[in-house]
Amino acid sequence: MDVPLACVGVAFLLVYAPRIVVARGQAKLGYDNRNPRDQQAKLEGMPRRAQAAHQNGFETFAPFAAAVLACELRGADATWTTRLAIVFVVARALYIAAYLGDKASLRSTIWTIGFGAVGVLFWLAIDR
């Protein structure tokens, strides 16, 4: 199994994991299928934070996937590529939990760890 590519798949799923909380929040308001984004903007508390975590997932997924693919294509060190891909996925899962739990400082620290992992993945691909 190619663990870094599997991590890309898991990271993709993590983009959508917070949507469960968002959908529950929208359901409590009476889901508005005509204007779901307007309704999402009215969410408060955990559902609103879940929507923000979902949006941040899109922002971080593309650079992570690109970094992993660059490492794969360039033949970067497989051990480090695997370790860093796992660090990113674990960081994303913890980031979502911290966001939902309203732990802002912890969330920012975890985001920085994930961002750093992506940066090092790119460096591994470039420095090959």
Q: Where are the domains of the chain?
A: 3-127
| Residue in this structure with the two tokens 């969330």, named with its chain if needed | 107
Helix (H) or strand (E) holding 81: helix 78-100
Question: What is the mean pLDDT of the segment spanning 41-64?
Answer: 97
Q: What is the pLDDT of residues 13-31, one digit of tens each?
A: 999 999 999 999 999 999 9
Q: What is the pLDDT, as a whole number, of residue 82?
A: 98
CATH fold for the domain made of 3-127: Four Helix Bundle (Hemerythrin (Met), subunit A) (1.20.120)
